[in-house]
Amino acid sequence: MDIKTIIRKKRKSGELTRDEIRYFVGKLTKGEISEAQAAAVLSYIAMNGLTEDEILNLSTAMAESGDMIDLSDISDNIVDKHATGGVGDKATILLMPILASLGIPVAKISNRGYGISGGTIDKLESIPGFKTDLSISEFKNNLKNIGVCIMNQGLNFAPAEGKIYKLRNEIACENSLPIVAASLMSLKIATGSNKIVFDITCGKGTYISDKEEARRLSKLLIKLGKCLGKEVACVITNMNQPIGYSIGHNLEIKETIMALKGVIAEDLGDVVEALGSTMIALATNNNDLNANAKMIKEAIKSGKAYEKFKQMVEMQHGDISFIENPELFEKSSRTIPVLSTDKGIVESIDADMIGSLAIYLGAGRMKEEGKINRTAGITINKKVGDNVNVGETLAYIYTDDNSKVSGTAQNLKDAFKITTKKLTNKSKVLEIIK
């Protein structure tokens, strides 16, 4: 068996055996095949697809390429949530303490961000001292003690998935549903969670183009879950604008803190309630999603979710004075308003463009070694459906680089589509599939 044989077989749409998939994943993990060879395999998978057996075998092989966690001694109902990506998405950070404050353990392994979707790990590490490079024993102890913990996938969890994730983005295979499904499920196998909710975002600002493609991925993930003995549900959400108000690491953590105190953007709140109520349903068998959503609202209103977040930050060595006083977070040297030249109603906000502009300002990376400016970013002042007049502020730019202001401002203004037509109210949540 050799890698060239596997490449030729997939080029001709052949079905790879379990041993061939394990060979490919093993060689990739050890660095014993070139990036060009790995890219060829992924490209032919993107072109010719995978059978359900191939996806299952690829998921398992990627999970087994590194450490595996057994959480059965902690709880029979460990819940996890994973998103396919979204600009300004801080729902995961909100949901962890919310669910844990309701007595539902949440175990999360996440990665650093690449491209327009910021990484949950990067955002949390904006809190001074916050540690995600945990040992398995630390991870499990935190779960036992406070019911919530997050750790960095980059240690030795599904390392093959990490390599494939980076490579598929580099070679424009990021929207290959078989690869996406295998990657997502491999992380869940490695984590040890047995109840999983996937947030499948679609539209601009994510690599899944429309609702039908999102439904196909959802059904595939649910099938994979059944084969692996895991209960899976998917919430399909649209990306017709960035989620919440802020894009950028310090900005998003500050918005998260305010949301846990009850000041939350409507679209972010809708997504959090849909995802959280579905997670509660899986963990407790209480399928009344409206009742579950009320529990989430009460966890926020009572302050329990905020206190659980402080516990989580403290347990992971973060400085909770920044949570208690968000104004301590470092700020960029310049804040520039972007003004509207039109009058009407905001019809859409190009999330893909907003994400790209945030990266240009320094609030993201396009390669592994890329540095992040945690103070850089964008805040949205007008959301879809809002009225806007000429001269009103659409958004703010945060940067330390004066040379990037004028170009960013013009492109940011162009990201807002203003209409004079009356809009019908469209929910951020499109469908829940179980």
Q: 95: closest CA among 111, 107, 86, 87?
A: 107
Q: What is the CATH number of the domain that holds 121?
A: 3.40.1030.10
pLDDT of 376 reads: 95
pLDDT digits (tens, 9 = 90+) for 172-227: 888 899 999 999 999 888 887 889 999 998 887 777 888 999 999 999 999 999 99
Residue 307 within any structural domain of the chain:
yes
User: Sheet harboring 416-419: ordered strands across?
Assistant: 387-388, 344-349, 416-419
Residue 424, both tokens: 């019908």
pLDDT of 366 reads: 57
pLDDT of 203 reads: 83
Residue 290 within any structural domain of the chain:
yes
Q: What is the CATH number of the domain that holds 356?
A: 3.90.1170.30
Residue 115 pLDDT more than 80?
no
Whether residue 261 is found in the same domain as residue 354? no
Q: How many angstroms separate the CA atoms of 92 and 281, rounded? A: 17
Sign of the CA dihedral running 310, 197, 69, 35 = negative
Mean pLDDT value across residues 126-151:
93
Residue range of the domain that includes 31: 3-49
Taking only Cα atoms into account, the Rg of the chain, rounded to an integer number of angstroms, comes to: 21
Mean pLDDT of the chain: 91
The residue from 299, 324, 349 where one domain ends is 324
Q: Which residues pair with 418 in a beta bridge?
A: 346
Whether residue 88 is found in the same domain as residue 224? yes
Residue 71 within any structural domain of the chain:
no
Whether residue 28 is found in the same domain as residue 92? no
Residue 368 pLDDT more than 60?
no
Decide if 285 contacts 77 (C-beta within 8 A).
Answer: no
Whether residue 301 is found in the same domain as residue 156? yes
Who contacts 47 (Cβ-Cβ below 8 Å, separation ≥6)? none
Decide if 406 contacts 413 (C-beta within 8 A).
Answer: no
Residue 120 pLDDT more than 60?
yes
Whether residue 151 is found in the same domain as residue 85? yes
Mean pLDDT value across residues 2-27:
96
Residue 17 within any structural domain of the chain:
yes
Residue 432 within any structural domain of the chain:
no
Rank 18-27, 283-292, 355-364 by mean pLDDT and report only the highest. 18-27
Using left for φ > 0, alpha for ψ between -120 and 50, and beta otherwise, residue 322 falls in alpha
Instruction: Provide the domain count of the chain.
Output: 3
Tell me how far apart the terminal alpha carbons of the chain are, to the nearest angstrom.
Answer: 39
